[in-house]
């Protein structure tokens, strides 16, 4: 696709990104949408990473965005690793299924590596993320809670191959 620009989100983009998020998620998982409110509130959270909040523009209109927050993994011996959680990622409905989310994901992965992150986690539909290298949390031995819960929607990607070292981890 031609005439695309990818850049970091600025404060002047906030309303457009929230509107895009609402439009992209409207009636997808539940009637209506709440993801736009999540985007609005996550920017003021200390775990939000503005260096990984990218927007994609076509002809000056924001048609895609991606955001991340900090999160942690805890090992069997109590060691903690700071990682990043991907999401939300949005593409305007008129531009979906054209590879634009792939562009956002790949650019943000490169920047996350530059910032020193080795692992990313995502809650999402596996069909949307396995093509970008995400795998089942069970395959990576990353669980939730103390009971070893492995949700289908919890996906893991080592940005640096071997970063998890085959150990057992708990997502925090």
The radius of gyration of the chain from alpha carbons, rounded to an integer in Å, stands at: 16
9 in Cβ contact with 53 (< 8 Å): yes
35 in Cβ contact with 22 (< 8 Å): yes
One digit per residue, the tens of pLDDT, for the chain of length 172 reads 688 999 999 999 999 999 999 988 766 666 767 787 678 889 999 999 999 999 999 999 999 999 999 999 999 889 999 999 998 999 999 999 999 999 999 999 999 999 999 999 999 888 889 989 999 999 999 999 777 899 999 999 999 999 999 999 999 8
Helix (H, G, I), strand (E, B) or coil at 42: helix
Of 55, 153, 58, the C-alpha closest to 104 is 55
**Phi, psi (degrees; rounded to nearest 5) at 89:** -125, 135
pTM for the whole structure: 0.92
155 in Cβ contact with 134 (< 8 Å): yes
H or E, element range at 56: strand 54-58
Q: Tell me the C-alpha distance between 93 and 78, whole Å.
A: 43
Question: Cα–Cα–Cα angle for 67, 92, 53, nearest 5°?
Answer: 15
């Amino acid at each position: 696709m031609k005439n695309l620009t990818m850049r970091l989100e600025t404060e002047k983009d906030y309303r457009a990104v929230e509107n895009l998020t609402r439009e992209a998620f409207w009636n997808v998982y539940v009637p209506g949408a709440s993801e736009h409110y999540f985007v609005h509130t996550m920017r003021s959270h200390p775990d939000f990473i503005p260096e990984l909040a990218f927007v994609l523009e076509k002809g000056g209109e924001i048609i895609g965005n991606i955001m991340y927050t900090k999160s942690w993994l805890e090992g069997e011996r109590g060691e903690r690793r700071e990682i990043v959680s991907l999401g939300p990622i949005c593409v305007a409905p008129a531009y979906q299924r054209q590879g634009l989310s792939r562009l956002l994901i790949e650019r943000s992965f490169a920047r996350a590596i530059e910032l020193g992150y080795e692992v990313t986690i995502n809650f999402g539909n596996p069909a949307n993320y396995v093509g970008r290298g995400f795998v089942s949390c069970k395959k990576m031995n990353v669980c939730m809670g103390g009971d070893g819960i492995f949700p289908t929607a919890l996906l893991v990607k080592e940005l640096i191959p071997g970063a998890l070292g085959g150990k057992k981890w708990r997502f925090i």
